[in-house]
């Protein structure tokens, strides 16, 4: 009995009665508690200590080889009415879902410790923050939640304070690693009861329930009811040489560049001119309209659970520098010196992510990746050199632009600007991206991933688009909306755009559009920079590449719009008419543009 809040105590008791743990531990978030947990995990083999000279307080965790990513096919939204979950989600009736998963929880914690983790998503005193309690039998989850959220005594105090005012003020998340058997693994959400139940996985978004389950799936449901937005977006501050800071929120699907953009280091010529970047968040953004009509955003998280492979001195030096101490690595490889290693780093791996010896061939390469493609680091946000001094502001930061972007080899130009909010919502809804290793299943398959929320929206996408459209009010001062694509490839199969730090060149045009200082060309799909509108100083882009990146292929777009139309239609009658109208409007512009390029008389 450890809380002043009766409802919380009762829930913990009920869970304990069913899961049968050997003991119960209420997490206070203290240093001593963390040290004891690390000690325990080093003994059990859950953690391996990394080279303490180069990486003090850093540990490696190897997850079960069948448990290395999110499992979208085992993730359910359990609403009373199936249509409320929508075709974008797997659905199960709440009673059936509870029955199915409760049977798996029965006795699942026998011989284990049940940890009660009170946590706060967002700055602890922010009116925009929300709390939850995760019950888990995984000490690895506790250690990660301690980094990723404001966890412990202060969160519990807020939960008790709010709980006394009203019932159901915190999200209840129940997690057990169960048998780590993919056949007995489910991630279930009951948005109407602010409840999450997850069993059978100890990995990332499946197990750290504050992150995807709470801060996106449950929060998106709450946000619709309360008039705000819970989004899969990074938040970055861009400071120009005059000292003005513009905050941009960007939604890219999993493993499509959020962490990289959030920590961007400007190219040399920009640094010399005085440009600076500030990181507010790298994965989740909660945005609320304020009295000034603008959207103000907080990052509900306190740390980064970032993709390791590809993180290097060249691509993301800010990230690399923060990983030298107090970090947890999951499924990375090891060098002979006990340093963490992944593809993209110098040096050679000695042990792969499963702890097997790496056998190098005659040219010095291993047969497959030594680090798992979805291997990750967990680290406190404060360790990032570009961490924004405003990241903890209770009212958040004002957003000037919203950027959508996917991983698209073809067609999608480097950047375009939506004409207005409705067009921007359509551009977000129409987002497509090639799948990545962040979820189990095939990689590189193009699918629609509206607003990068396909795996994370806790309700019907049609209702979600309608909710987005409601923000367009006469008194609103909404951000402008853009779409970017860093992943266009040329005929040689190589990326056309250098990406990473050079993405600031595109961001500069974006903020210039917001302040009215930059030019553009109108096209049927939106406004694009002309080559002279981009700052290319110090960039050696071979001739033809920029033209290709900024080309609008009308034929290709007609086909794309036909496919977008089919996608919108697949949601049936709930799809907002305004979005369908916007789709028809742009389709007509494309058809007109096509007919203009055809010689008269051709069919
Ligand atoms: P989640 O944490 O899964 O939500 O992903 P994320 O969007 O934060 O992805 P992240 O920034 O970690 O990027 C993942 C992959 O994209 C890495 O392999 C990066 O190297 C690659 N990447 C990021 N930015 C760029 C870019 O501008 N160009 C190219 N070509 N690749 C990029
Ligand atoms: C993602 O897949 O979008 C992530 C990683 O940010 S996880 O927390 O595992 O979902
Ligand atoms: Mn993510």
List pLDDT tens digits, range 418-474. 999 999 999 999 999 999 999 999 999 999 999 999 999 999 999 999 999 999 999
Nearest CA to ligand 1 atom 12: 307
Catalytic sites, residue numbers: 256
Instruction: Find, among 16, 20, 23, 12, the residue nearest to 110 by Cα.
Output: 20
Nearest CA to ligand 2 atom 8: 205
Asked whether the CA dihedral 20, 26, 32, 35 is positive or negative, the reply is positive
Asked whether the CA dihedral 208, 213, 218, 219 is positive or negative, the reply is positive
Q: Please say whether the beta carbons of 187 and 213 come within 8 A.
A: yes
Q: Please say whether the beta carbons of 486 and 405 come within 8 A.
A: yes
Task: Return the structure tokens found at 514.
Answer: 């917001």
Q: Is the CB of 212 under 6 A from ligand 2?
A: yes
Q: Is 103 helix (H, G, I), strand (E, B) or coil?
A: helix
Q: Is the CB of 438 under 6 A from ligand 2?
A: yes
**Following DSSP, what letter does each residue of 494-505 receive, concatenated?**
SBSS--GGGHHH
What are the φ and ψ backbone dihedral angles of 33, each rounded to 5 degrees?
A: -65, -45
Task: Find where tokens 């953004």 sit.
Answer: 285
Tell me, what's the pLDDT at 366? 74
How far apart CA 176 and CA 199 sit, in angstroms, is 5
How far apart CA 90 and CA 339 sit, in angstroms, is 40
Nearest CA to ligand 1 atom 24: 257
Tell me, what's the pLDDT at 599? 66
Residue 402 bridge partners (DSSP) = 249, 481
Instruction: Find, among 130, 173, 135, the residue nearest to 149 by Cα.
Output: 130
Ligand with an atom nearest the CA of residue 252: 1
Tell me, what's the pLDDT at 72? 96
Ligand 2 atom closest to the CA of 456, numbered from 1: 3
Task: Return the structure tokens found at 140.
Answer: 């690895």
Express each pLDDT in 260-310 by its tens digit.
999 999 999 999 999 999 999 999 999 999 999 999 999 999 999 999 999
Task: Find where tokens 């291997």 sit.
Answer: 375
Burial letters for 10-38: b for 16+ Cβ neighbours within 10 Å, e otherwise? Answer: ebbeebbeebbbeebbbbbbeeebbeebb
Asked whether the CA dihedral 108, 114, 115, 118 is positive or negative, the reply is positive
Task: Return the structure tokens found at 119.
Answer: 């946590």
Instruction: Find, among 348, 230, 217, the residue nearest to 285 by Cα.
Output: 230
Residue 398 C-alpha from the chain's centroid: 20
Give whole-number Cα distances, 37 to 114, 142, 146, in Å: 13, 8, 11
Q: Is the CB of 512 under 6 A from ligand 2?
A: no
Q: Please say whether the beta carbons of 55 and 325 come within 8 A.
A: yes
How far apart CA 31 and CA 28 sit, in angstroms, is 9
Q: Is the CB of 144 under 6 A from ligand 2?
A: no
Task: Return the structure tokens found at 446.
Answer: 């193009």
How far apart CA 266 and CA 500 sit, in angstroms, is 9
CA of residue 272 to ligand 3 center, whole Å: 32
CA of residue 11 to ligand 1 center, whole Å: 39
Express each pLDDT in 105-147 by its tens digit.
999 999 999 999 999 999 999 999 999 999 999 999 999 999 9
Angle between helical axes of 461-469 and 577-597 (0-180°, round to 10): 90
R_g of the chain computed on alpha carbons? 24
CA of residue 205 to ligand 2 center, whole Å: 5
Nearest CA to ligand 2 atom 1: 254
Instruction: Find, among 275, 280, 211, 284, the residue nearest to 243 by Cα.
Output: 275
Provide residues with CB under 6 Å of ligand 1: 252, 254-260, 282-283, 306-307, 309-310, 315, 438, 486-487, 495, 499-500, 503
Q: Is the CB of 210 under 6 A from ligand 2?
A: no
Q: Please say whether the beta carbons of 208 and 145 come within 8 A.
A: yes
Tell me, what's the pLDDT at 601? 60
Ligand 2 atom closest to the CA of 204, numbered from 1: 9
Q: Which residues contact 199 (CB under 8 A, 6 or more apart)?
A: 101, 104, 105, 108, 175, 176, 177, 178, 184, 185, 186
Spell out, as residue ranges, where the chain has pLDDT lower than 70. 1, 599-603
Task: Return the structure tokens found at 383.
Answer: 């360790």
Nearest CA to ligand 2 atom 3: 254
Burial letters for 453-474: b for 16+ Cβ neighbours within 10 Å, e otherwise? Answer: bbbbbbbbbbbbbbbbbebeee
Ligand 2 atom closest to the CA of 203, numbered from 1: 9
Give whole-number Cα distances, 340 to 26, 271, 285, 302, in Å: 32, 30, 30, 23
User: Cα torsion for 53, 59, 64, 67, to the nearest 10°?
Assistant: -120
Task: Return the structure tokens found at 227.
Answer: 């008039």
Element (H, E) at 305: strand 303-307
How far apart CA 394 and CA 396 sit, in angstroms, is 6
pTM listed for this prediction: 0.97
Judged on CB neighbours under 10 Å (0-12, 13-18, 19+), 347 is exposed
**Following DSSP, what letter does each residue of 212-254 receive, concatenated?**
IIIIIIIHHHHHHHHT-EEES-EEEEEE-TTS-EEEEEEE--T
Q: Please say whether the beta carbons of 233 and 434 come within 8 A.
A: no
Tell me, what's the pLDDT at 446? 93
CA of residue 253 to ligand 3 center, whole Å: 7
Mean pLDDT rounded to a whole number for the chain: 96
Q: Report the residue among 67, 72, 205, 230 best suited for mutation to probe ligand 2: largest number of ligand atoms under 8 A from its CB.
A: 205
Q: Report the residue among 378, 438, 439 best suited for mutation to probe ligand 2: largest number of ligand atoms under 8 A from its CB.
A: 438
Tell me, what's the pLDDT at 167? 82
Q: Is the CB of 211 under 6 A from ligand 2?
A: yes
How far apart CA 200 and CA 202 sit, in angstroms, is 7
CA of residue 231 to ligand 3 center, whole Å: 10
Q: Is the CB of 84 under 6 A from ligand 2?
A: no
């Amino acid at each position: 009995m450890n809380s002043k809040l009766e409802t919380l105590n009762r829930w913990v008791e009920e869970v304990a009665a069913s899961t049968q743990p050997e003991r119960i531990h209420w997490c206070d978030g203290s240093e001593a508690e963390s040290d004891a947990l690390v000690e325990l995990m080093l003994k059990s083999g859950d953690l391996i200590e990394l080279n303490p000279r180069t990486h003090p307080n850093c540990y490696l965790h190897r997850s079960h080889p069948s448990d290395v990513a999110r499992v979208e096919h085992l993730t359910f939204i359990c609403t009373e009415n199936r249509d409320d979950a929508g075709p974008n989600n797997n659905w199960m009736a709440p009673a059936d879902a509870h029955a199915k998963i409760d049977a798996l929880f029965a006795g699942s914690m026998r011989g284990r410790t049940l940890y009660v983790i009170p946590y706060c998503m967002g700055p602890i005193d922010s009116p925009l923050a929300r709390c939850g309690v995760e019950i888990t039998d995984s000490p690895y989850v506790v250690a990660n939640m301690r980094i990723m959220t404001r966890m412990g005594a202060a969160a519990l105090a807020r939960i008790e304070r709010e709980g006394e005012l009203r019932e159901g003020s915190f999200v209840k998340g129940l997690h057990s690693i169960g048998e780590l058997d993919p056949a007995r693994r489910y991630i279930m959400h009951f948005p109407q009861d602010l409840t999450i139940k997850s069993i059978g996985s100890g990995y990332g978004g499946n197990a750290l329930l504050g992150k995807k389950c709470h801060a996106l799936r449950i929060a998106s449901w709450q946000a619709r009811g309360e008039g705000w937005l819970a989004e899969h977006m990074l938040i970055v501050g861009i400071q120009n040489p005059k000292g003005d800071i513009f905050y941009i929120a960007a939604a890219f699907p999993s493993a499509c560049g959020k962490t990289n953009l959030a920590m961007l280091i400007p190219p040399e010529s920009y640094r010399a001119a005085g440009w600076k970047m500030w990181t507010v968040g790298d994965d989740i953004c909660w945005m609320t309209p304020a009295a000034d009509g603008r959207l103000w955003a907080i990052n509900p998280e306190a740390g980064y659970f970032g993709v390791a492979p590809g993180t290097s001195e060249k691509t993301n030096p800010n990230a690399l520098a923060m990983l030298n101490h107090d970090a947890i690595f999951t499924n990375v490889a090891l060098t002979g010196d006990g340093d963490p290693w992944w593809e993209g780093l110098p040096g050679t791996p000695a042990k792969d992510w499963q702890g097997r010896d790496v056998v190098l061939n005659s040219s010095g390469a291993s047969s497959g990746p030594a680090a798992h493609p979805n291997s990750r680091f967990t680290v406190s946000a404060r360790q990032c050199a570009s961490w924004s001094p405003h990241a903890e502001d209770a009212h958040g930061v004002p957003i000037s632009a919203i950027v959508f972007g996917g991983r698209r080899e073809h067609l999608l130009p480097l950047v375009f600007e939506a004409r207005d909010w409705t067009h921007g919502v359509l551009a977000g809804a129409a987002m497509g991206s090639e799948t990545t290793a962040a979820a189990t299943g095939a990689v590189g398959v193009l699918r629609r991933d509206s607003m990068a929320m396909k795996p994370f929206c806790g309700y019907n996408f049609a209702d979600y688009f309608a909710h987005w459209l409601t923000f367009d009010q006469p008194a609103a001062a909404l951000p402008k909306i853009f779409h970017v694509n860093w992943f266009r490839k040329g005929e040689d199969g190589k990326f056309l755009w250098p990406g990473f730090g050079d993405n600031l060149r595109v961001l500069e045009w974006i903020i210039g559009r917001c302040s009215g200082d930059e030019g553009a060309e109108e096209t049927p799909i939106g406004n694009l920079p002309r080559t002279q509108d981009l700052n290319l100083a110090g960039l050696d882009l071979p001739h033809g590449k920029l033209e290709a990146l900024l080309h609008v292929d009308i034929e290709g777009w007609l086909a794309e719009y036909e496919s977008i139309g089919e996608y919108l239609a697949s949601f049936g009658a709930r799809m907002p008419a305004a979005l369908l109208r916007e789709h028809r409007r742009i389709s007509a512009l494309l058809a007109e543009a096509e007919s203009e390029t055809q010689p008269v008389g051709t069919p």
